[in-house]
C-alpha cells in the first residue's frame, strides 16, 4: 500500500478505489476500509463487505441440513454470497443473475467474481430469467433483488412466486432477503411475510444484522 493510500485510510477511514454510475443503481462506489477490505456500495446499500458476509453466513448456517448441488442467486451483486456458497458446497453449481452490467464489471475488477469456482454469471432481468431456467433444477434459490433500498413489487407477486416454485426441487429452499432496520422497512417486510406465508407451505424467518431472512419450503417438514 502506498503512503498516500495509507494516509487516506488513516484520516478518512476509507480509500475510494472507483466511482461509477449505473442507469439502474445510480452511484456505485468501491472503497477500501481501514482494515484493507474492499467494499461495494450501490446507492446507500452495501453490496459486499463485512455485514453482507455476516448476513449470508448466518443464512447458510441455518440450512446446514440441506444437500446442495445446484444453486441460483437472483441479485449477484459483489459476489459475497457466491464465494461463501462455493467455499461451503465445493461441488455445487452456482448460477448468478445480475441485471446491472456495471456491478458485474466492478465485481470482476475488484472482487474477482469471474474466478469463483463453478459460478455461471448471467446478465439478465431476474423476472425474465426465472421464466426461462430449467424446472425443478435448483436445491437453493436466493432472492436479493434490492435496487438501492427499494424491493421490486414484481418480487412480491404471485407470478414470481409461481416461477420460483417451478424452479426449486421438492426438498429445496428459497431464501428472501429483506431490509428490516427502520419503521418503514419493518412495515413492508411484515406485509411481505404475509404474502409468502399465504403462498408457501412453510416459511421460517431469521433476523440478522439489519435484515430479515425468510426461508420458504415446498415441504412442511423442513425447518431452520
88 and 19 belong to one structural domain: no
Higher-pLDDT residue of 12 and 121 is 121
10 and 116 belong to one structural domain: no
Q: What is the structure's pLDDT at 11?
A: 44
Q: What is the structure's pLDDT at 2?
A: 56
36 and 60 belong to one structural domain: no
Residue 224 lies in a domain: no
Q: What is the structure's pLDDT at 181?
A: 85
39 and 62 belong to one structural domain: no
Residue 108 lies in a domain: yes
Does the pLDDT of residue 138 top 70, yes or no?
yes
88 and 186 belong to one structural domain: yes
Least confident segment among 31-45, 61-75, 154-168: 31-45
| Total domain count, the chain | 2
- Cα separation, 203 vs 206, whole angstroms: 10
Which three-class secondary structure string do you get for the chain?
CCHHHHHHHHHHCEEEEEEEEECCCEEEEEEEECCCCEEEEECCEECCCHHHHHHHHHHHHCCCCCCCCEEEEECCCCCHHHHHHHHHCCCCEEEEEECCHHHHHHHHHHHCHHHCCCEEEEECCHHHHCCCCCCCCEEEEEECCCECCECCHHHHCHHHHHHHHHHEEEEEEEEEEEECCCHHHHHHHHHHHHHHHHHCCEEEEEEECCEEEEEEECCCCCCC
29 and 73 belong to one structural domain: no
Q: What's the maximum distance between 2 C-alpha atoms anywhere in the chain?
A: 58
Q: What is the structure's pLDDT at 9?
A: 46
- Cα separation, 74 vs 165, whole angstroms: 14
122 and 73 belong to one structural domain: yes
Q: What is the structure's pLDDT at 223?
A: 56
66 and 112 belong to one structural domain: yes
59 and 162 belong to one structural domain: yes
Residue 8 lies in a domain: yes
Does the pLDDT of residue 10 top 80, yes or no?
no
Q: Rounded to 5 degrees, what angle do the CA atoms 40, 46, 51 make?
A: 110
Does the pLDDT of residue 44 top 60, yes or no?
yes
CATH of the domain at 159: 3.40.50.150
93 and 122 belong to one structural domain: yes
132 and 38 belong to one structural domain: no
Determine the angle formed by the axes of helices 183-199 and 158-167, rounding to 10 degrees: 60
* Residue span of the structural domain in which 94 resides: 50-217
Q: What is the structure's pLDDT at 50?
A: 85
**Is-contact 202 219, C-beta < 8 A?**
yes
* Whole-prediction pTM: 0.91
- Cα separation, 11 vs 147, whole angstroms: 31
Residue 223 lies in a domain: no
98-115: pLDDT as tens digits: 999 999 999 999 999 999
23 and 129 belong to one structural domain: no
- Cα separation, 165 vs 160, whole angstroms: 9
Amino acid at each position: 500500500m502506498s503512503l498516500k493510500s495509507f494516509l487516506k485510510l488513516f484520516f478518512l477511514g476509507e480509500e475510494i478505489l472507483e466511482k461509477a454510475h449505473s442507469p439502474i443503481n445510480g452511484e456505485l462506489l468501491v472503497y477500501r476500509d481501514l482494515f484493507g477490505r474492499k467494499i461495494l456500495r450501490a446507492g446507500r446499500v452495501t453490496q459486499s463487505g463485512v455485514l453482507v458476509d455476516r448476513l449470508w453466513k448466518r443464512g447458510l448456517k441455518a440450512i446446514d441440513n440441506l444437500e446442495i448441488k445446484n444453486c441460483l442467486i437472483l441479485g449477484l451483486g459483489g459476489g459475497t454470497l457466491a464465494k461463501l456458497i462455493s467455499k461451503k458446497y465445493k461441488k455445487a453449481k452456482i448460477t448468478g443473475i445480475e441485471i446491472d452490467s456495471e456491478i458485474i464489471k466492478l465485481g470482476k475488477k475488484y472482487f474477482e467474481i469471474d474466478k469463483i469456482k463453478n459460478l455461471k454469471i448471467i446478465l439478465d432481468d431476474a423476472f425474465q430469467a426465472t421464466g426461462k431456467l430449467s424446472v425443478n433444477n435448483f436445491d437453493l434459490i436466493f432472492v436479493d433483488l434490492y435496487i438501492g433500498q427499494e424491493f421490486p413489487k414484481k418480487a412480491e407477486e404471485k407470478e414470481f412466486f409461481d416461477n420460483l416454485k417451478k424452479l426449486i426441487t421438492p426438498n429445496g429452499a428459497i431464501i428472501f432477503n429483506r431490509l428490516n432496520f427502520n419503521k418503514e422497512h419493518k412495515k413492508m417486510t411484515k406485509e411481505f411475510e404475509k404474502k409468502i406465508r399465504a403462498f408457501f407451505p412453510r416459511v421460517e424467518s431469521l433476523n440478522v444484522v439489519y435484515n430479515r431472512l425468510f426461508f420458504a419450503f415446498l415441504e412442511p417438514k423442513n425447518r431452520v
